[in-house]
A and B are shown apart, each in its own frame.
Chain A
Amino acid sequence: MISFDLQYFQPNTIEDAINIYEQFISENKKPIYASGGTEIISRARRNEVQPDAIIDLKNIPGFHKCEHKAGKLQIGSAVTLNHAATHSNFPLLKTVIQSIATQTARNKITIGGNLASSLPYREAVLPLLLTDSTIVLATPKGAITKNIHDVFPFNEHLKELELMMEVHLDSKLIKHPHFWIKKTKQSQINYPIVSVAAMHIDNEIRIATSGLTANPLRMKQLEKDILQAVEIEDCLDQIESYLPSPIIDDMIAQSDYRLFLFKQIIKDIAINWKGAS
């Protein structure tokens, strides 16, 4: 049960969504956008968030699209994880999604919610970071398109009122060879100690990871080092210096263990793919 009261809105247009948000802000109240709503429910139940209004984006046409159009895979932010896995035709995205939560939970969790989650994991973003996706944001002045590397993590970059409408990526990239591994503490269904997604695109080995630090990361410097290294061990020693924040150290796993796992995984990727690059 959610113990406090709130108002629930289901706008049919982006303009209405932003207007409702704006109105609550002007009254010094706290609105929150919702897609799947599952994280908001869990956090509100524990009183970690106490929004005055929930603005459910699911009824806005276009937020459910998942299609290839004009050479781009376009995914609306209210598309559920299961729908994206089935309809995107993007093998790595499907594999990653199928390791997030459970089949039933994925009928409700959305792409937008996973990407904008307050949890550190946000694993669905990894294939999007690897493919240098673009994000279409709705702002009070209209839609704007940004490179994912400029707006992710959203909690640091999204301005008040702004919301995520769609993610776009080059359809040509989706069939390139990929690699995915998720190391969890106990059962397979769990948050990762560390998970790594990689793609082999032309002459590049692209790597992104979740679970290592407070935000999922694309490891561009490491990608370059791997290609140049004569001995893979040489670039593994540098990894820590490329991280923008400390390695997570918690009851699930110590930071040393996370780093150890990450290095082993990187070594495996390099050994497997360097011959082909």
Chain B
Amino acid sequence: MNHLPQTIQVQINGQVKTLMVRQAELFLDTLRNAGLTGAKPGCKNGDCGSCTILVDHIPIQACQLFSMEVMDKNIMTIEGLIDQTVQKAFEEKWALQCGYCTPGYILNAYALLQHHPNADEETMKQWLDSNICRCTGYQEIIDAVTLLIDRNEYHEHHS
């Protein structure tokens, strides 16, 4: 048994990648070292959501994930979200200022809409409460996601 770096195979944004990782490495660091800097380090403690990525379509904080855990998983980072619908709604509703929290919010909102295209207010609030924004007043973010729900943007994809 040894501590040597391991090779992991993982699908990131539709491409299968083979990466060398330290066994103690956190996936947030692996992603950023691989040039995927959209996942942002904030608290690194599971509190702020700025590092949110999708693992098999489920939002997960990359700072709370060992790289060894993602072997053979399907990962989406903000770089892989080609569909710009959520981004445009954020723009329309002024739901960002400095933008640091935005990739985490957008992926979380995207996953919410995939899982609950008609999310009620309580469900939406519960999901969005996972992220912290130091700039906006949160209402703009809620407005952006509400807009997407009202426009039924993700209903077709889901059903």
Contact for B69 among A4, A37, A104, CB less than 8 A: A37
A103 within 8 A of B: yes
Interface residue from B22, B65, B71 paired with A5 (Cβ < 8 Å): B22
A4 touches B24 (CB 8 A): yes
Task: Say yes or no: A44-B129 contact (C-beta < 8 A), given A107-B60, A108-B61.
Answer: no
Distance of A101 Cα from B59 Cα, bound (Å): 14
**Cross-chain contact B126 with A98 (CB below 8 angstroms):** yes
The answer to whether A54 touches B66, judged by C-beta atoms less than 8 angstroms apart, is yes
- Identify which of residues 30-48 in chain B touch chain A, using a CB-to-CB cut-off of 8 Å: 44-46
| In the assembled complex, A56 has its CB within 8 A of some CB on chain B | yes
Residues from chain B with a CB closer than 8 A to the CB of A38 are 46, 64
Residues of A in contact (CB 8 Å), total: 30
- In the complex, the answer to whether A104 meets B59 with C-beta atoms within 8 Å is yes
B108 contact set on A, CB distance < 8 A: 104
Please determine whether A8 and B68 come into contact, CB atoms closer than 8 angstroms.
yes
A272 at the interface (CB under 8 A from B): no
A8 touches B46 (CB 8 A): no
Neighbour of A103 across the interface among B44, B71, B126, CB < 8 A: B126
CA distance A44 to B59 in the complex (A): 23
Nearest chain B CB to A180's CB is how many angstroms away?
Answer: 16
Closest-CB distance, A97 to chain B (whole angstroms): 11
Q: Which of A4, A7, A108 contacts B64 (CB 8 A)?
A: A108
- Smallest Cβ-Cβ distance to B1: which chain A residue: A7
Tell whether A224 is near chain B: CB-to-CB under 8 Å.
no
Q: How far is the CA of A102 from the CA of B127 in the complex (A)?
A: 8
- The answer to whether A104 and B60 have CB atoms under 8 Å apart is yes
B131 to chain A, nearest CB (A): 8
Decide: A44 near B24, CB < 8 A? Known: A1-B29, A7-B1, A7-B2: yes
Determine whether B26 belongs to the interface, using a CB cutoff of 8 Å to chain A. Answer: yes
Complex Cα distance A14/B139, Å? 48
Nearest B-chain residue to A104, judged by Cβ: B130
Given contacts A56-B69, A105-B46, A6 and B64 within 8 Å (CB-CB) = no
Flag whether B3 is at the interface (Cβ < 8 A). yes
**Is A221 on the interface with B (CB-CB < 8 A)?**
no
Contacts of A45 in B (CB 8 A): 44-45
Contacts A/B (CB < 8 Å), 7 sampled: A7-B1, A8-B23, A10-B68, A37-B65, A41-B65, A58-B69, A104-B52
Which 6 residue pairs spanning A and B have beta carbons closest together? A104-B130, A102-B130, A5-B3, A8-B68, A2-B24, A8-B23
> Can you add 4 more A-B contacts, CB < 8 Å, to A8-B68, A103-B129, A108-B60?
A45-B45, A103-B59, A103-B130, A104-B131
